[in-house]
Each structure stands twice: as structure tokens, then as C-alpha cells.
Amino acid sequence: MTYLIDRRLQGKNKSAVNRERFLRRYKAQIKDAVGRAIKGRSITDVENGEKVSIPVKDVGEPSFGHAHGGVWETVNPGNEEYQKGDLINRPRGGGGAGRGKAGNSDQTSEDDFIFELSREEFMNYFFEDLELPHMVKTQLSSSTEFKNQRAGYNMSGTPSNIHVLRSLRGALGRRIAVGGHARKQLQQAETELLQLLQDGAAADTARVLELKKLIHHLHTRLIAIPFIDPFDLRYSNRIKVPKPMTQAVMFCIMDVSGSMDETRKDTAKRFFILLYLFLKRVYDKIDVVFIRHHTAAAEVDENEFFHSRESGGTVVSSALNLLNQIIDERYGGGAWNSYVAQASDGDNWDNDSILCRQLLVNTIMPKVQYYTYVEITDGPPQNLWEQYAQVPDHHAHFAMQKIVTPADIYPVFRELFKKQPKS
């Protein structure tokens, strides 16, 4: 008998059949199923799991068997129904199993191996070909920076880290502790000597000479105590503590003027949701700021952002000025990764579009990690698009795309956040 011991390391939360290896082996079929699932569901449900089916012929596992060598004796059971030369009727219902279809379909047969992808696995395949470009501060959600923090004092260190006040305080305490008994004896001896001399004792008497000798010895002993000893030195202790850089702020800017109907707003909302799901995979903490504008801009909550109705003209620069103000007041100092997504139909005053380009190039782009602009229109590019098209010449982390129908959201999203070629 042969025993096989599986010594493969099982990762955390991995099943005994090595689910991770299984997913890696059938990566192509799973990615194909994920792609079909994206087309058949709403973007708001994109982070749910998915059932995937794979043909049984593709999931065969190697097996071990004994070689048929030597002399074998076998006993086969006979039959009491058929004789040699009998004709057997064809079975009804066709050729049985074997017609299963691979794919993410409801019409599965017993030949389909069906398993369910978890939410995390589904999202891994969904975002596998994407990345956040130009991430200056953070590359992965698990990446952290370290900052120096004071943590008491050490008895060893470099001279530049010596804490003078703490060292002198320790030296003073040591001198008091070491010389305390000697000072007490010295005070007693001096008092006794003074008393003897006042009582008329001769300077050459035995007790006077003994006290003088003791006083000299105690003075010498106290003088010998060093002012500061290497033992007294204290060094400032600084340790490195992880400083998570996994917080981001996502600014959603949308035009709510009369030209932006409910269909365009819904398209913009789907794009914002997809971007938010993407950022959630990179950052532990995400703040979302909603800025809506027509002729004036205002920071609002999500419900008002998507459902409030406005009419009138469009002044996009009002939103950019408010964006810049919020970044300076609440998200400055380099502790936040700022991402901006702007959706509009492109309609804007001609003179204001030029001002928008200047605000982006000179003020806003240096403060953000990435800026995306999507123009939701089925017509020719508007004046805002023409001005924004000049921004990438100054800042590479600016991207813009055009969305005509909701079906364009995902392709546009992939184009905006596709992996950048390594230089």
C-alpha cells in the first residue's frame, strides 16, 4: 500500500482541496464568466459574487494506479438474460450525458462543474486588469509609511540624541545618592571639631587630629565623585511606528443645469459608483464629497446630489473654486490622496471654460493624485472639452473620455484606469 502526504501549504481561509490553486488553474474560464456577469447585471450589484460553471472534462485531476504486470486472475460475473448473438435495443433518450455547455448559463447539465466565487474573488478578477495610475503616495492598500515617534529614553545612542536636561538631572541625583552618607558624616565631624575647639581643646590632641583626618578624607571622597558619568547619559529614544497612508477622498462633481436630464444624471451616478468600488479596494478609509453646480456650486449630500432638480445656465469654474477651497481646508497637508471625478454634458460659457483650464493647470492638478472628466453627450465635443483637452500637456494624471450610452461606462472606466506601461 502506498501513502501520499500532501505537504502543500494551505493559505488562510483556503479549503482542503486547495481552492487557490484551482482558481489559478482555471483562470481563463473564470475571467470569461466574470466578463459575462458584468454585462448581465447592474453596476450597483457589481461587487456581489457569481456562480461559475466549467465543463467536467476540463476539471479532471491526475490519479495514481497500479500497473497491470505479472499474472492476474480475475473472476467476472456472468449474466442470465442474454445469450451470444442476441440483439439489444437502442436506449431511449439519446446518448445519455455529455452534452453540457460551459459558461455562465442557466442551461447547465450534469456535465457542468458549478462553483461559486466569493465577493472578494469576484472583485479580484473584475479589477485584475486595472490599476490606479500615477499613485504618488500609495501603491497598495497594505502599504504604509513610518514616522518617528518619541518613546522615552535610552542609556545608549548617538551623541546627537543626547538629552542634556535628562542627563544632568540623572547626574545630580547620582551625586546626591552616592555622597549623601559622606556629607552627613562630614557635617557631624565638622560640628564636633568646632565644639572641641570652642571648649578649649588643644589642636594636637588625639581626638582633634582624628577629626581633622576624617574631614580631609571625606572632602577627598566627595571631590572624587565625578560631575557626570557615562552612566548618567540619557539619549532620546525614537521608534518608527506605522503611519497608514490608506485614506483617500473622492470628489464627485456634476453639472445639474437644465441641460443635464435624469438619464445623464443616472449615467454619471453609475460611473461614480464604479469609481468608488475601485477606490475601496485600494484604501481603507474613503471620504466622498459631492459638489453640484449650475451657475453656482454647493457641497451637498448624496441624495440631493443625484435627485435635486435645477435649471439655468452653467458655470463650471464655480465648482472648481469650491473644490480647491475644500482641499485646502480639510484635505491638505499631504495626509490624503485626492481623486476627482467630474461629469458634465460639456455645456459651459466660453470665457468660463478658459478659466476652468487655468484653474486645473495652475491650482488643482498639483494637489490631486488623479482627475477624470467624462462628458456625457451624443453630440460633438463642447467648448469645455476643447479646453480640457489641453490639460494633459501639463499634467499626465489627467484623463478624459466621452460617454454616449450607459453601455459605454465600463469601457470608458477601463480606458481611464488601465495599467500604465512601465517606463
Cell of 377: 453627450
Pairing type for strands 337-344 and 247-255 reads parallel
pLDDT at 373: 92
Distance CA 201, CA 209 (A): 11
pLDDT at 48: 64
Cell of 191: 560640628
Residue 268 CA: distances (Å) to CA of 49, 252, 348: 24, 10, 18
Cell of 174: 547620582
The neighbouring-strand residues paired with 55 are: 112
pLDDT at 139: 35
Distance CA 417, CA 414 (A): 5
pLDDT at 322: 93
Per residue, the 3-state secondary structure of the chain, as one string, reads CCCCCCCCCCCCCCCCCCHHHHHHHCHHHHHHHHHHHHHCCCHHHCCCCEEEEEEHHHCCCCCCCCCCCCCCCCCCCCCCCCCCCCCCCCCCCCCCCCCCCCCCCCCCCCCEEEEEECHHHHHHHHCCCECCCCCCCCCCCCCEEEEEEEEEEECCCCHHHECHHHHHHHHHHHHHHHHHHHHHHHHHHHHHHHHHHHCCCCCCCHHHHHHHHHHHHHHHHHHHCCCCCHHHCCEEEEEEEEEECCEEEEEEEEECCCCCCHHHHHHHHHHHHHHHHHHHCCCCEEEEEEEEECCCEEEECHHHHHHCCCCCCCCHHHHHHHHHHHHHHHCCCCCCEEEEEEEECCCCCHHHHHHHHHHHHHHHHHHCCEEEEEEECCCCCCHHHHHHCCHHHCCCCEEEEEECCHHHHHHHHHHHCECCCCC
Distance CA 47, CA 229 (A): 66
pLDDT at 243: 58
Closest Cα to residue 128, out of 12, 247, 35, 14?
A: 35
pLDDT at 4: 66
Residues 6+ away with beta carbon under 8 Å from 140: 282
pLDDT at 380: 83
Q: Check: CB of residue 398 under 8 Å from CB of residue 368.
A: no
Residue tagged 451470444 (cell numbers)? 84
pLDDT in tens, the chain (423 residues): 666 665 555 555 445 456 777 777 777 777 777 767 765 554 445 566 667 776 665 556 667 777 777 777 877 777 777 778 888 888 776 554 444 444 444 444 445 667 777 777 777 776 665 554 444 333 333 345 566 777 888 888 888 888 888 888 888 888 888 888 888 888 888 888 888 888 888 878 888 888 888 888 888 888 888 888 887 888 888 887 765 556 788 898 988 887 777 778 778 877 887 777 777 777 767 888 989 888 888 998 877 877 776 666 788 999 999 999 999 998 877 778 888 989 888 888 878 899 999 999 999 999 998 899 999 888 888 888 989 999 999 998 898 888 887 777 777 777 777 666 654
Torsion sign over Cα 187, 189, 192, 196: negative
Residue tagged 580631609 (cell numbers)? 216
